[in-house]
Amino acid sequence: MSAELQISKPYPAPIVESVIVQKQPSEKLGVRVKSSGNAVYLAEANDNLHTLSQKVGHEILSINGHAVHSVSQVVNIISDYVSLEFTLLDPRIKLPPFCYVEVAPTSRINPGVSFDCCCNRTMVMVGEVFISDLTKTRIRKGDIVLAMNGRAVWKPEQADEEQLQAARNHKSLVLYCVNMEEMRDYCIKKAPKRQTINGNEEGRNTIATKRDVNTLIIEERDVVCTGKLDMKAQIYEDETEMCYKWKTPTASRSILKRQSYSFCAMTLEAVNKLMQEQLLALKEEIVSHAWMETIQKQDEIIPTYYVPSAPSTSFDIGTPDYSTPRYVIPSVEAIPIDTTLDL
């Protein structure tokens, strides 16, 4: 896996800030926004909006708790409110591959998302998404949640408490997540496809493709190996024999005894290994960070482990390191004029 795409340091966490501004019902707010892909950026703000004008170049994650991914969404929200809370993402810290930041709606009655455990209760996974229009959110079922509102989470109970706390305080719920479908696609593409058995230098090439979101197909000559996604473990389980018996119940020779199956199984294992390496890097960073926070706050000597047990309560991720010179805020990518609006 290339160095630039390897997830090894998911922290420092993204810097997400909130800015509240007021406007009259009949007047323009005095800002200019631009869109690039499914992200919206603050391109310009009037000088009288002092706090907001300092955030030019930042991505607008949400306004009044509503996630925005297009200029039209921004227009609709701004026209409906006189008090506006902008949730902004600082672009100076580049997110690791496959990671994203998104705002989920909060409600005491109907939360925006539910959470589940995965990887032996060492990571949090998005369970269900209760958002009416899924085209307006990045959050997808099965994605892994690294942090919520600036706090690292590794158990669903923590995630539920963070969501409830945000709802009580009428605040946005900012999720720092891993797009697991993107990660799986990358691992399937990059995992070694040429396999050897018993030191055979020639080896054979397998072909790995996705049949659907949860099914991986690996082919070699006359054999098709089937892997089914186990979200709880975040790996593909080999169901080749099961599928083979179902399709050809009278077959006299098991597909598992063929040499071609051995090559397919090795490729399936290579895909799983690559995914596990990346998840392990994420998990170690999350747990070790929270563990170090515990040591600093309690000022106690605690035994060191490779992957220590996580404390039972949440702790602040911490503030970014400003000891190094700040980077210049990058200019917003040039886009067609019809996606730029003065508001």
pLDDT, one tens digit per residue, over 98-142 is: 888 898 888 777 788 999 999 888 899 999 998 887 877 889 999
What six digits make up the tokens of 212? 């659907």
Predicted confidence at residue 313, as pLDDT, reads 43
Sketch the domain layout of the chain as residue ranges. Answer: 3-178
> 3-class DSSP state for residue 199?
coil
Task: Look up tokens 């040039």; give the residue.
Answer: 334
Residue 330 pLDDT greater than 60, yes or no: no
Instruction: State CA 291 to chain mean position distance.
Output: 22
Q: Beta strands of 105-212 (E only): which ranges?
A: 113-118, 123-129, 144-148, 151-152, 173-178, 194-195, 204-205, 207-212
Q: Which of 174-188, 195-209, 253-267, 316-330 has the highest mean pLDDT?
A: 174-188
> 4 vs 24, which has greater pLDDT?
24
Q: Domain 3-178 belongs to what architecture?
A: Roll (2.30)
- Rounded distance between C-alpha atoms, residue 235 and residue 279, angstroms: 11
Percentage with pLDDT > 70 across the chain: 74
Residue 150 zone, left/alpha/beta (φ > 0; ψ -120 to 50; rest) = left
175: amino acid identity, one letter: L
**In this predicted model, what pLDDT tens digit does every residue of 192-248 receive, in sequence order?**
999 988 777 678 999 999 999 999 999 998 888 999 999 999 999 998 877 665 555
Structure tokens at 40: 């919206």
Res. 35 pLDDT band, cuts 50 70 90: confident
Residue pair 150/174 in contact (Cβ under 8 Å)? The answer is yes
Which distant-in-sequence residues (6+ apart) come within 8 Å of 305 by Cβ?
Answer: none
- Whole-number mean pLDDT of the chain? 77
Question: In angstroms, how far apart are the furthest CA atoms of the chain?
Answer: 81
For the chain, the first-to-last Cα distance in angstroms comes to 44
What the block records as the tokens of 327 is 């980077």
What tokens appear for 115 in the block?
A: 């959470």
Q: Is-cis flag, bond preceding 336, omega within 30? A: no
What distances in angstroms separate CA 250 from CA 93, 240, 246, 253, 254, one per listed residue?
59, 16, 10, 9, 10
At residue 76, what are phi and psi to the nearest 5 degrees? -65, -45
Mean pLDDT of 150-155: 83
| Average confidence (pLDDT) over 140-151 | 88
275, pLDDT greater than 80: yes
Backbone φ, ψ for residue 28 (5° rounding) = -75, 155
